[in-house]
Structure 1
Amino acid sequence: MTSQETDVKQATAPSKTWRSWRENLILVAIALFLALFIRTFIAEPRYIPSDSMLPTLHTGDRLVVEKVSYHFHPPITGDIIVFQPPAELQRRGYPKDQAFIKRVIGIPGEIISVVRGKVYINGQALSENYIAEPANQPFSPVQVPADKFFVMGDNRNDSNDSRYWGFLPQQNIIGRATFRFWPLDRIGFI
């Protein structure tokens, strides 16, 4: 091998190394961008911090919250949603970025009440096979305003919900809980 060939080989070696590093950096940047994009606009994982949704969700459950569907239609009664605390909860000391999870009970225009442990929507008893136990205190009828929702935890007697802090503004909704991925023995759609 001549000295000229050796010089060419040495000159191309750093070039190949740099190309390999550059390709890897581009792949990492694309992966980070996709991860941030998906988490911000499509879906994100969430952790259940309390017993307010028992028996449906347990403390420590890990969920996927999808963020796309509510751009096409509003939440409906029965949806389990994740949301940022409304102004009243923030005034009570909850940070704006702390997420809550509850079930949608009333949508705009509906009249919600609790009588003898049963939830009523527009005077009709709501069939609720998902609650831990009936609510132990009455709640006088209220009409859900436009662009707001009435939400309650499934563990009615241990839930900080709309009965105590009012209606949930639609703009506070992060997304809908769709899938439990942990623990493995309860994995599945919600």
Structure 2
Amino acid sequence: MNFPLIMLVLLVITGSIALLDRFVLQRRRAAEAQGPWWVEYPKSFFPVILVVFCLRSFLVEPFKIPSGSMIPTLLVGDFILVNKYTYGIRLPVINLKVMDINEPQRGEVMVFRYPENPSMDYIKRIIGVPGDTVTYRDKHLVINGTPVKMEPNGEYTYVESGLNYVYSRRFNESLGDHSYKVLVNPEAPDIQLAGVRPFPFDENCSYNGGGFTCTVPAGNYFTMGDNRDSSSDSRYWGFVPERNIVGKAFMIWWNFSDLKRIGLSIE
């Protein structure tokens, strides 16, 4: 469901009726007479829809986490807030950037439109920015020839769909100005080669059973999930074009299963 488009249509309809009543219909009825319901209802909803549309389009938009690809940073069922303006002001619906503000940085958690199906929103961590060479081998990241700092932080257990218990090793990883936790399953391969599909600029990447190396093309970003061995990300479907960016995730505002997560910032 294209919610921004629905909001835009409602905004146009209610706004048009409000203007029609203001400049035409009011003049045709008595001064104290009430307008018909099909005029009064849209008029009352118009300011509410306008405020919600502007907030969601240019300031903050809520999202719900549907999968475990960002565990342990984000859990299934987390409701998060996304800053819509930090990466630039974009026109709603068509997502065209009209003003630059900040560029996405390594280590930030970003929401974007899935390149293979732009009607879907994905959330991943930015690993590589334009021009970076990203290598992932033996469960370790190397950016532009420099290994990313990674320190053990115990074990982590969670339940996958189907009530399967998953045991992983947890690490503290530092990238750019951000420190966060990632999960690694030592029994899983670095890359599931069968899952790699053709994608734009795939000639910038080389894969083998031990991992991969990719050079990020201009105007694109390389992303990965924090749950490294249970994430569909840039390793498999390619780079995220700048035009697909939605915003930067910054806070968990609700979780029905764990109220202690409310208000947590997203590292």
TM-score between the two structures when normalised by the length of structure 1? 0.81
Structure 1 segments unaligned to the other structure (5+ residues): 1-13, 91-95
Q: Which has the larger radius of gyration?
A: 1
Counterpart of 1:60 in structure 2 is 77
The one of 102, 125, 133 equivalent to 1:73 is 102
Instruction: Provide structure 2 residue ranges, at least 5 long, that are not aligned to the other structure.
Output: 1-29, 89-100, 150-172, 174-179, 191-209
Cα distance in 1 for residues equivalent to 2:41 and 2:66: 38
Confirm or deny that 1:103 pairs with 2:120.
no
Identity %: 37
Please say if residues 139 and 163 of structure 1, whose CA atoms lie closer than 8 Å, have aligned partners that are also in contact: no
Structure 1 residue 166 and structure 2 residue 238: aligned? yes
| 1:35 to 2:52 alignment | yes
Q: Name the CA distance, whole Å, in 2 between partners of 1:169 and 1:134.
A: 29
Moved more, 44-53 or 124-133: 124-133
Task: State which of 216, 229, 251 in structure 2 corresponds to 1:144.
Answer: 216
Contact kept? 1:118, 1:134, Cα under 8 Å: no
Q: What amino acid sits opposite 2:113 in the alignment?
A: Q
Residue deviations 1:24-44, cap 9 Å, x none? Answer: 864531111110111122211
Measure, in 2, the Cα distance between the counterparts of 1:98 and 1:141: 27
The ranges of structure 1 where at least 4 consecutive aligned residues each deviate by more than 4 angstroms after the TM superposition are: 14-17, 21-27
Higher strand share: 2
Paired residues of 2:111 and 2:248 also in contact (CA < 8 A):
yes
- The letter for the 1-side match of 2:123 is I
Correspondence for 2:66: 49
- Is 1:133–2:190 an aligned residue pair? no
Please name the residue that 2:135 is paired with.
113
User: Within 2, Cα distance between the matches of 1:85 and 1:25?
Assistant: 34
- One-letter amino acid matched to 2:34: W
Deviation at 1:49, TM superposition (A): 0.5
Query: What is the Cα-based RMSD across aligned positions, in Å?
Result: 2.2
Q: Which has the higher helix share?
A: 1
**Helix, strand or coil: the match of 1:50?**
coil
- Aligned residue pairs total 169
Cα contact 2:138–2:211 (8 A) shared by 1 = no
Residue of structure 2 in register with 1:185 after alignment: 260
